[in-house]
Amino acid sequence: MMNAPTSLRTDPKRSLWAAVLVGIGVMAAIDEIVFHQLLQWHHFFDFGTPAFGVLSDGLLHAAELLAVVVGVFMLLDLSQRKRLVIPWAKAGFFLGMGGFQLFDGLINHKVLRLHQIRYGVDPLMYDLVWNAFAIVFLLIGVWFWRRARAHAAR
């Protein structure tokens, strides 16, 4: 952990990381609501999933749920201590969203094979669009990150 001198009031690093957790959790929630429930493209259980995929799914699911709750309370805690830096939190939020989307697109769908984006079609195009969205979110995150750094330098 960063050993900030007591005179330093704000905490950029923790503002960034708490928001990364929130971004991960929000993206996971969007995935669950839009692709599992509304569109019903994703399947709850894919019989082609290897055993280690089913096992790791439980762990990932728990991490996503707790990420959003813990992240929000970390931001509230930082804010109460007047250490929250909003520009860094914005960068963290988008980096978290994009990072999760990319992880979901590459690891969950392709390596662990928990489920595909959509069934009954060739998933290649869907995979490309999915991961392109992830890159877009990451780029927005990087843009906010550069802005936060420029803001801090002033």
Q: Which residues bind other proteins (CB under 8 A)?
A: 1, 11, 14, 44-45, 47, 54-55, 57-59, 61-63, 65-66, 69-70, 73-74, 76-78, 80-81, 83
Smallest gap from residue 122 Cβ to other proteins (A): 25
Return phi, psi of residue 2, to 5°: -70, 135
- On whether the CB atoms of residues 95 and 103 are closer than 8 A, the answer is no
- On whether the CB atoms of residues 138 and 94 are closer than 8 A, the answer is yes
Indicate the burial class of 6 (C-beta count within 10 angstroms; 0-12, 13-18, 19 or more).
Answer: exposed
Comparing CB distances to other proteins, the nearer of 11 and 104 is 11
108 secondary structure, DSSP code: I
Comparing CB distances to other proteins, the nearer of 81 and 149 is 81
Q: For residue 83, give the 3-state DSSP assignment.
A: coil
Smallest gap from residue 146 Cβ to other proteins (A): 25
Indicate the burial class of 109 (C-beta count within 10 angstroms; 0-12, 13-18, 19 or more).
Answer: buried
Smallest gap from residue 49 Cβ to other proteins (A): 8
